[in-house]
Structures are given as C-alpha cells and as structure tokens.
Structure 1
C-alpha cells in the first residue's frame, strides 16, 4: 500500500546551500522517523513558497546515497497572502504496511506552525 508522508521546514535565506542543507535535513528526518529505505519510495514531490527560487530542492535529495533513482519533482506553492514564508514542503509517497495513524509526519523550524497537532 502507498502512504503519503508529509514534512515541511523553513529556511533563513534564499541561498542554494541553505536550501540544499535544510532539504536534506528534512528528508533524512522523515526517513528516520518512518524507517524508510529509498527502494520503498514511489515518488517525492517538493514544493517551495515563491520566495525560494535560487535552487531546486530535489537536486539535494538526489545526492543522498541510494536516492539517484527515486523520482523527485519540485514546484511552487500557491502564493497566498499571509502564508508562511521561505517554506519547503515534502510529500513522499511510500510503499508501507504502516497504518495511516502511525505515519510520522515531520515539521521543522518555523514550519511547526503549519501542523502543531502533528509535532512531537
């Protein structure tokens, strides 16, 4: 069965090195919390708020060991007034037998404000 696992983080500045490092940190946390192997992943969709435009977060994901064949795609979130700025969101589609209530979604940095009900 395929389950969607969500995560989000915010960055301090629209700089490629920060985009890459925070994306890797977020993905590694999602993988750790859910005991995921790259072979279990069907695809990863990464979105950013429109104020992030100096690098593709998916490029950082593809540099992880064993992830070169995992399909990844980037896009921008809707530009909603008052939305959380400088935010990177991940939706990972994973083959798993874990029940939906036991999936561990991961929110880091300022993104904890998006889903305080899911933050440990």
Structure 2
C-alpha cells in the first residue's frame, strides 16, 4: 500500500457561504466516487482557496460528512498569481491505496477544468 495524492478543483460563482460549502462537497464527493475511497483510508485533505473566497472555511462542509470527523483537514490561501483562475477551491487528498499513479482519477469541475485539461473529463 502507498500514499497517493489526488487532486481536484472547482470554481464557484459567488463569495458566499452556501456556494462555497456546496462546491466543496461536490468536489470531494467527485474525488471519493471516482476513486472508490473510504474515509478511513484518507491521511488528510489539504484545501486551498483563492483570496477572493473568504466567506467561510471549506473544511466546515467536510466536517459534516459522516465518517469524516477524524480526517485531518487544513485550509490555506492559494498563491495569488496575477491573472490566475478566480473563485477556485482546490483539494489535495492524501490516501492510503493500492492504486498506481496511473489509476488515480483527478477531478476538475467548472472553470477549474482549465487548470489541467489533460486530466479533466467532460
């Protein structure tokens, strides 16, 4: 078994608590479903947001999910590079798995598909 990183990102339309929490759950559920994950196999989840998303902590949405109460979560600001994608939430999920790097499914939704078109699926 190895520790693998699974990336994901999603954009939101507004800097409001509801859309941020909803998008966080959508993204995490997409990663979980695409990779067949169980919360007990998660090492941690690192969450970043662009500096224009400050209405809430995205981790608070994950804390409400059954089985995720003990998963270590951390939120941080994404590096504010001029001209970069706005209103974006990114996740790095570290998981114990038997999957190879090639078998890992990364998830990009909405405008975030532009970040990694090589990994994005329609």
TM over 0.5: yes
Equivalent in the alignment of 2:51: 50
Equivalent in the alignment of 2:21: 20
CA distance in 1, matches of 2:72, 2:54: 20
TM-superposed deviation, 1:10: 0.1
CA distance in 2, matches of 1:31, 1:62: 15
Are positions 1:106 and 2:107 aligned together?
yes
* TM-score, normalised with respect to structure 1: 0.99
Query: Matched residue of 1:116: which SS?
Result: coil
* TM-score, normalised with respect to structure 2: 0.97
Query: Matched residue of 1:26: which SS?
Result: helix
Equivalent in the alignment of 2:8: 7
Q: Which ranges of 4 or more aligned residues in structure 1 deviate by more than 3 Å?
A: none
Q: How much is the aligned-residue C-alpha RMSD, in angstroms?
A: 0.4
Query: Matched residue of 1:69: which SS?
Result: coil
Query: Matched residue of 2:95: which SS?
Result: strand
Are positions 1:31 and 2:26 aligned together?
no
Are positions 1:74 and 2:78 aligned together?
no
TM-superposed deviation, 1:65: 1.0
TM-superposed deviation, 1:119: 1.1
Equivalent in the alignment of 1:97: 98
